[in-house]
Structure formats: structure tokens, C-alpha cells
Amino acid sequence: MAEPSLSVECCVAGGGPAGMVAGLLLARAGVRTVVLEKHADFLRDFRGDTIHPSTLEIMHELGFLEDFLKLPHQKAATLAAEIGERTIRVADFSHLPTRCRFIAFMPQWDFLDFLAERASRFPGFGLLRRTEVTGLLIENGRVAGVAARGPDGPITVRASLVLGADGRHSTVRERAGLPVETLGAPMDVLWFRLVRRADDPVESAGRFDSGRIFIRINRGKHWQCGFVIAKGSFAAVHAEGLPAFRRAVAALMPFAAARLDEIVDWESVKLLTVGLDRLKTWHRPGLLCIGDAAHTMSPVGGVGINLAIQDAVAAANILAGPLLRGEVGEAHLHQVQRRRELPTRATQRVQLLIQNRVVSRVLAGTTALRPPLALRLLAAFPPLRRLPARLIGLGIRPEHVRTAPADAQAGRVRS
């Protein structure tokens, strides 16, 4: 029996934020698109759950915002840093030139389910779950599609363009042999959750105290907590034992000290291995990487999802026309990289600066427990908080939806 195959204009590897946004926008423009998602659903704990003002603006441009905001979410109009006993407002989103002047904390599976449902309304869109890319089809030096494994076995997807959006451990970029520039990161993060009570603080914040860094995110009924540790030190933390870990958390989150038995075992603590890297070239003939597949971001600032979605919007804006005309070439792919490389490099440079001058020193215990000059200025001059709000909320080069909905009927994914 012949191996099942299908043919599309664009095959998107990965059903994360970048892949789903790209798939939706391309299908909306009339491009026959299939997204391959290796899991059966989007239910994964401790994925990035921040929806930035720039992404909410995209939802508005698509006419989705009103329905989108009906989904459960928490709003953060400001972000704060706690240093010792002092709380400093770092970012104030209330002055952004957007419809929504806040960050929305929403489970990523709700966000992705929403995108999948809206994308399914376009006849050229397909989503294949439990289907993982295993290799690339190469013909005459050009990527002509992918080999994948689905629930019923191997499947071949032929495409004019393969869009690699399969995250920081991208199979697509590894199979494509694209060279990676590693920038390094001094930390990893242990994620877990604790019940949030009515008398708890409201604000999400980062805390710097006694050689440790701690993140708490208000998720309504629970706190999503991130305990920052030195790179590669999880084995040592684990060896010290769960009681020691609970005591460390209690020191950083004292209002929750009485409920730390909710951390029942190490299975309830998830390790995020932090990386910071980028591809030197994001593409080769027939293939383009975007999002974490093109540039893995540090969690500093929580901007990785923001950049990934903006990559997807730029890719759809630039590539929809050439795909519809059957003439997408390397010049078009390079145009996407050229547009998105500057904001990527600039953002990573800021992350490196913060990692090296703040994170590394705090984790090493060599920094005095007092706010650095930049935070003291933000505390003294509130209007300055608009700058980090713009960098976090909008990014260095915000993207807007330019692709128009297809007027003609688009064919469904052909099998």
C-alpha cells in the first residue's frame, strides 16, 4: 500500500503560537495550508501564557478581539520587581497606543484552541494532530515538503514552502542543517503552581532576594511560580531535598508559606532548560524557520511568544502573495528574515545585558541587595516606565495584519 500523502502550498511544522498564527493568516489569504502538531491537544503545563498588547491588537485587526477576551484571563496593566522589601513598578502599559493596554495571562491551550477554531473556518486550512515531522523531502537541492508520522503511520506532505515553527528543539532546523549561533544563558527555571487565595496580593511580580530570583504570575485561581536557579544546578537542588526547596520558596513568597505542601513531589516541579540562540540564516530553498525555531529566547521579559507571533504575521504578509502566485523564492524568504532579524537581535542583546549584569550576579550572591540604577530611575520618574512597557508590550518592530481575506473560494487541503 502506498504511503498516504497530501499536497498544499504551505506546510507549517508545529502548532504553537507562531505556527497557528501563520497557518490562520495564510489560510485567510487563500493559501492552502496544513499545520502539523505532534500532540493530540494543546494541553501542556507551564507553557508561556502571556498575551501581549501587540498580539491583542492583531486579534482586533482580525475582528476576533471581543470573542477572544471572553476566554478566562487575568489582566496586568503594570509589572513590578520586588527587591528585598521594596516594590518597584517596572512597566506601565496604560499609555500604549493599542486597544488593550495590558498583558493578558491566559492558558496557552485556550489561546491555541481559539486560533485553531477560527482557522478552521477557512476552507484552505488543515490541522493534523498527533503528526510529527521526522524529515525533509529534498528535490534538486530544494525542500519540497516533509516526511511525518501520524496516528496511522508515515505520511508525506508536499508543499511549495515548509514553515518551521516547531520550537526551541526544532526538528526542521536540525534536519535543514541551518547553522546556529549560541549566545548562552546563566540560568534554568523550575516551574510549579500554588493555589491563590482571596487575601493574596494581586500583582504578578519578579522577586530578587538573598541570591535568588523568583517569579509569580497571577493566574486567577492559582499562582504560576518560577524559581530561577543557576544553569545546570537542578541536580544539586534536587539532592538537597524537597523540604529545603519548600523553605527556599517560603522565604521568597512568605504569604504562601502555609500552603507549600501543595508541592507534593518533584513531579509537580517542571524544569525549563533556558537557552538563547539564533540561526545565522533562517531559510534555505523551500524552507523558512520562525519563532523559537529561528531564535530561542530567554524568559527575561517574557517576550518570546510576542516575537514568535510577530514573525508569523510578517511571514504571512510577505509570503501569501508569492505562494498564491506559485513563485515563492529565497528572496522572499530572506525578506522575512531581514525584517525580523533586527528586532530579534536587539531583544536578545537586552536579554544578554540583563542576564549578565543582573541575573548572573544575583544568583552568584555577589550583588548587594539594592535596586540597580535603572530601577531606581523607574521608581523616581514614573513616565520612564512607558519605555519598558513599549519594549515588552509591543516589541521593537510591531507587526500588523496586511493580508486580506481571500475573495475567491480556496480549495481544501488535497489528499
- Tens of pLDDT, residue by residue over 129-138, are 999 999 999 9
Q: Is the pLDDT of residue 12 over 70?
A: yes
* Segments making up each domain of the chain, as ranges: 5-74+103-183+275-358, 187-230+232-272
| Fold classification of 5-74+103-183+275-358 (topology level) | FAD/NAD(P)-binding domain (3.50.50)
pLDDT digits (tens, 9 = 90+) for 222-267: 898 999 999 999 999 999 999 999 999 998 899 999 999 999 999 9
Number of H helices, E strands in the chain: 12, 20
- Indicate the Cα dihedral angle 290, 99, 348, 381, nearest 10°: 180
The whole-number average pLDDT for the span 255-284 is 93
pLDDT by residue (tens digit) across 79-100?
A: 888 887 788 889 999 999 999 9
Alpha-carbon span 92 to 149, nearest angstrom: 46
In whole angstroms, what is the distance from residue 312 CA to residue 15 CA?
A: 12
Strand partners, 33: 10, 125
Give the mean pLDDT of 30-54.
84
pLDDT at 397: 94
Q: Dump pLDDT digits (tens) for 50-72.
A: 899 999 999 999 999 999 999 99
pLDDT at 407 exceeding the cut of 70: no
pLDDT averaged over the chain?
90
> So what's the pLDDT on residue 409?
38
Burial letters 143-157, b for 16+ CB under 10 A, else e: bbbbbbbbeeeebbb
pTM above 0.85, yes or no: yes
Q: Place 44 in a pLDDT band, splitting at 50, 70 and 90.
A: low
Cβ–Cβ < 8 Å for 341, 50: no
Under 8 Å between Cβ of 277 and 53: no
Please tell me the predicted confidence (pLDDT) of residue 317.
98
> Where are the strands (E) in 184-302, listed by range?
187-195, 205-209, 212-218, 222-230, 270-272, 277-279, 283-284, 287-289
Angstrom distance (rounded) from CA 315 to CA 340: 9
